Structure 1
Amino acid sequence: MTPDPDSKTVHNLPELSVSDLSQALKRTVEDAFGRVRVRGEISQPKIPGSGHCYLRLKDDAAVLDGVIWRGTLAKLSVRPEEGLEVVATGRLTTYPGRSSYQIIIESLELAGEGALLKMLEERKRRLATEGLFAAERKRRLPFLPRVVGVVTSPTGAVIRDILHRLNDRCPVHVLVWPVRVQGEGAAQEITAAIAGFNALDPAGTVPRPDVLIVARGGGSLEDLMAFNEVAVVRAAAASAIPLVSAVGHETDTTLIDFAADLRAPTPTGAAEMVVPVRLDLMAQVADDGRRLLGAMGRLLEDGGARLTGLLRGLPDPYRLMEDLTLRLDDRAQRLALAGPALLDRRRADLDRLAARLRSPREIVALRAAELGHLSRALDGAAVRAVDARGQALAGLAARLRPEPLAREAERRGADLARLSGVLDAAAARRLEDAAGRLERAGTLLESYSFRKVLDRGFVLVRDADDRPVPAAAGLAEGQGVSLQFADGRLGATIGSGGAERASSPPPPSPSPSPGAAPDPPKPRASGRAKPRRKDPRQGTLLDDL
């Protein structure tokens, strides 16, 4: 029987929606692959703002998407990196929105030592590019640190070896920061320990170390992975305290060895590097002390010999004192003579200036003659003016009529009276000027008078003829003289204790030229010096008396 084409075909398979089928596939995959370990190479790892890590695991023939949730990523000991071969442990699940499946990774392990070495080499290259391993960043260790900081496990043999070696060589203060040196969280503790030592206050209660030792015993490459972490390497490179790396045995190498200021082959070797041997230091100090004493002794001997040689070259101090004493006496005598010599020079200057002055009588006579000449000239000028006016009036009178002549005569008379008044006023002013000049000349003469000298306490000696006595040589014993003071005269007689007479005044001593040796002082004759010879044509102030 042929089927009816219009009839509906009946299937015994249930009809499912896309969502139902996707959920069924999800349950099947998750039940069948609830716990799997997958080996592959990490490709395209990405961490968006949500904090989850999305990556791919691939081999030669397939690719598997994977995701690491944010909470799991923070706990992983191996960070996902491009090209890293790992063994991922997790569970498979599907994503219905894209019809894809992926693995939810719960842990990561490196797939063998070769992969681990490849990751370390790539990490070393990247950190070296940043300059963390540069040689110029290395610092010298302090010669004798007071405090040594140790970052290591407090329960292992490493700390005991370090303390024993430090105590044998040179006991110092040791601060231990206990950390885990392997396993989960070890890298974070080591990083915190290095940063914590650097954060200590040098003046605080806990002293800040002068040098740090990061130490661990030997182990496999996986056991030393904490010292290969980027955070640990950056903390070692950023440490302000000089840092010594002592991780593993001599053949073990970690990335912190390249960032540290110094690498020690073993923890014991690190203790030997940070402190010197105390006995060697004591021996060196003793040897340096002996050398210093010897050098000081030789220095003193050389200085004494040199001082002795210099003393032989010095002159006798007593001879120097004698020469200086003679020079001092000479200067004192010259100083004593300088005052009288200066007075003599000033007196000579005064006499020379006085000789240049005119006699008061001559000045008065000259002024009187000048005044008479002016008076006569004035009288002659007045007479000539009157005569000229008279003649002019006479000529005008001869030419004018009687009536205008009277008016002209009256006008001329008025002019004559006015000119006569002007002439009298000019004569009076001329006489007043002459009188003023005469009065000033008298005042000047009075200031030159010897009486002004007597007012200052001097005395004028006159002989029996009432003539001034200029020198003691003109007096004899028993001779009567008169002493004129400013307020009167007194008589006196020259006695036996009269003034001593000097034959001639001493010649003035020439001024010494600069740098020349001073002449020895000459004795000065006692008594008053003779007055100097003056020009007989010139008088003195006393000649007018």
Structure 2
Amino acid sequence: MDELQPTDSRSNAVEFSVSELSLALKRTVEDAFGYVRVRGEISGYRGPHSSGHCYFALKDERARLEAVIWKGTFARLKFQPQEGLEVVATGRLTTFPGSSKYQIVIEQLEPAGAGALMALLEERKRRLAAEGLFAESRKKPLPFLPRVIGVVTSPTGAVIRDIIHRITDRFPLHVLVWPVRVQGETTAQEVANAVAGFNALGDDPSLPRPDVIIVARGGGSLEDLWGFNDEAVVRAVAASEIPVISAVGHETDWTLIDLAADRRAPTPTGAAEMATPVKADLEAILARLSARFKSAISRDLDRRRQTLRSTARAMPSPDQLFALPRRHFDECAARHVRALDMLVQKKRLRLNGVRLSPATLALRLTEARRSLSQCGTRLPVVFQNQLHQRRIRLDRDAARVTARGLLDRIRSADERLGNLSRRMDRAAEQRLRSFHTVLDQHERLMKSVSYQAILDRGFALVRDASEAPIKRAADISSGQVLNIQFADGPATAIAGTRPAAPKPTPGRKPSPSKDDGGQGRLF
């Protein structure tokens, strides 16, 4: 090396500083090896550092090599490093002068063979299953008849053509295709974004939200299908609100997305059959159900008509229903008439039994005066006795009653007197109202049985000169003076001669004369 010059002419050994020697070794290692592929087992992996870089070691049975993955490279890796996993790392070999170590800066990392991939797959499956992402309780049922189907697959492969062709044959629906790469480093992220994107769609009619999502890909090797084993894809499918059907690979191919999806289809064509019913079968079922429904309606109507006819025959006729009420009404009407007649007779007898005359009134007045005289004679004696008893009781009470007690008794007596006075006023008013009510009733009764009410209906009372009532026309003689009482006042008339009664025609009843009203001519 030209830049390194000996500092001691007395020795042939070249003298270096620590930094110079470290930098020289770094350049030598980097120039001699450059990019290398190293196979080893990951040791000491604890996940990304707080800075985002990863530090661990690759080892085999006899040696150990420090390794580092920078933050930007770690985000692009197909799978995460795991402790104890045998991998093949591709990167640059370099040294770290600060600790006199050499290390490999890894730019690509892949499992060492299918066995390592299977081990990684089993470990990831176990870890995600422990989180409950594969639990059956989380799986959602598929809609019976979806309106829109979302398909996540490559837009140029045969898979999308098979799916669309099968859906068109069974039940034509609206199909939305989210194009993704189904193989390569970006497969996992594109599929996860597609599932999340379908879930984020709104109610826009031009871009409706799917009712079910199909994630589909053709068959391939484990490495070809590795993107569908990615943790991001599994979590996106498990978090989807829309039911997801996994159709990745052939029937014998299994990936982690199959465990997280709501349904797993053996092929993409099988996924299309799961998502859609057969339109012809639905039409046949609908026609059969319609026929059964019509038949059931017809049978039910016939049964109801038969029941109605049987009920109508069992019901009585209207005459039978109203026979008893009519008879009861007739009996009540007859009893009412008889009771009314008996009541009128009873009232008439009571009225006829009342005889008011001056002699009767004088007798009652004499008896009242005699009773009053007796009461007046006894009243002073009774008053003196009560006064004497009250004076004795007052003297006895005065001896034991103090002024305060007397005032209390006076106050109490005053209150009691006020209460009695108010009660007496209310009783008197009530009694007076009762008397008025009875008087009004008697007045109405008197008017109802008075002849004056009969005069108001157009009749007249005929008396002779001595004011005796004349009841028959035969009692009137020609030229007799008659006093006639009308409703509005009296009148005087002189009776004339009575015309001879006409002879009745055989077969006809004699009709009363229009002039005399059927009672004979009086004037």
TM-score computed with the length of structure 1 as normaliser: 0.66
**Aligned residue in 2 for 1:397:** none
**Could you give the per-residue CA deviations for residues 107-147 of structure 1, whole angstroms, max 9, x where no partner exists?**
11111000000000000001111111111222221222111
Moved more, 223-232 or 93-102: 93-102
Match for residue 120 of structure 1? 121
Is 1:458 aligned with 2:450?
yes
**Within 2, Cα distance between the matches of 1:459 and 1:220?**
130
Letter in 2 for 1:12: N
Residue 55 of structure 2 aligns to a residue whose secondary structure is: strand
Would the aligned equivalents of 1:459 and 1:484 in 2 still touch at CA under 8 Å?
no
Indicate conservation of the 8 Å contact 1:458/1:485, yes or no. Answer: no
- Looking at structure 2, the residues matched to 197 and 83 of structure 1 have their Cα atoms a distance apart, in angstroms, of 38
Question: Which structure 2 residues correspond to residues 126-275 of structure 1 after superposition, within 5 A?
Answer: 126-202=127-203, 204-275=205-276
Structure 1 CA distance, aligned partners of 2:21 and 2:40?
Answer: 30
Structure 2, unmatched stretches of 5+, are 1-7, 383-431, 453-460, 477-481, 499-523
Q: Which runs of structure 2 are paired with 1:289-438 in the superposition (5 Å)? A: 289-317=290-318, 319-320=319-320, 323=323, 326-327=326-327, 330=330, 333=333, 337=337, 340=340, 344=344, 347=347, 361=362, 364-373=365-374
- For 2:126, the aligned partner's letter is R
C-alpha deviation, 1:261, in angstroms: 0.9
Matched to 2:450, the amino acid is F
1:180-212 Cα deviation digits (max 9, x unpaired): 111121111111111111112246431111111
Give me the whole-angstrom Cα distance separating, in 2, the residues matched to 1:338 and 1:18. Answer: 148
Match of 1:389 in 2: none
1:41 aligns with 2:41: yes
Match of 1:101 in 2: 102
The answer to whether the 8 A contact 1:459-1:483 is kept is: no
State which drifts further: 66-75 or 157-166. 66-75
- Report the alpha carbon displacement of residue 454 of structure 1 after superposing the two structures with TM: 6.3
Partner of 2:26: 26
> Taking every aligned residue pair, what percent have the same amino acid on both sides?
52
Cα distance, 1:305 vs structure 2: 3.1
Query: Counterpart of 2:11?
Result: 11
Q: Which sits farther off after the overlay, 69-78 or 326-335?
A: 326-335
**C-alpha displacement at 1:307, in angstroms?**
3.0
Structure 1 counterpart SS, 2:58? strand
Aligned to 1:430: none
Partner deviation per Cα, 1:288-318 (whole Å, 9 max, x = no partner): 233333333333333333333333323334x
Rounded to whole Å, the distance in 2 between the matches of 1:85 and 1:348 is 134
Distance 1:68 1:352, change over 3 A: farther
Contact kept, 8 Å, 1:169 with 1:276, in 2: the verdict is yes
Quote the Cα distance in structure 2 between the aligned partners of 1:451 and 1:299. 73
Counterpart of 2:186, as a letter, is G
Kindly provide the amino acid, as one letter, of the partner of residue 196 in structure 1: G
- Equivalents in 2 of 1:265, 1:133: separation in Å? 18
Alpha-carbon distance between aligned partners in 2 of 1:61 and 1:247, rounded to the nearest angstrom:
42
Supply the distance in 1 between the matched residues of 2:441 and 2:220 (Cα, whole angstroms).
130
- The Cα of 1:71 is off from its aligned counterpart by 1.0
The aligned amino acid for 1:323 is A
Q: Cα RMSD between the aligned structures? A: 4.3
Give the drift of 1:485. 10
Q: Is the 8 A contact 2:465 2:483 kept in 1?
A: no
Q: Could you tell me how far apart the structure 1 residues matched to 2:59 and 2:145 are?
A: 55
Contact 2:163 2:272 in 1 (8 A): yes
- State the alpha-carbon separation in 1 of the partners of residues 137 and 49 from structure 2: 37
Aligned partners of 2:467 and 2:483 also within 8 Å: no
Output the CA distance in 1 between the equivalents of 2:275 and 2:116. Answer: 36
The verdict on how the C-alpha distance between 1:324 and 1:37 changes in structure 2, with shifts beyond 3 A counting, is same
* 1:42 match: secondary structure: strand
1:32 aligned partner, one-letter code: A
CA distance 1:463–1:339, change in 2 (3 Å): farther
Q: Secondary structure at the match of 2:44?
A: strand
Amino acid at match of 2:220: G
TM-score, normalization by structure 2: 0.68
The answer on whether the counterparts of 1:244 and 1:262 sit within 8 Å (CA) in structure 2 is yes
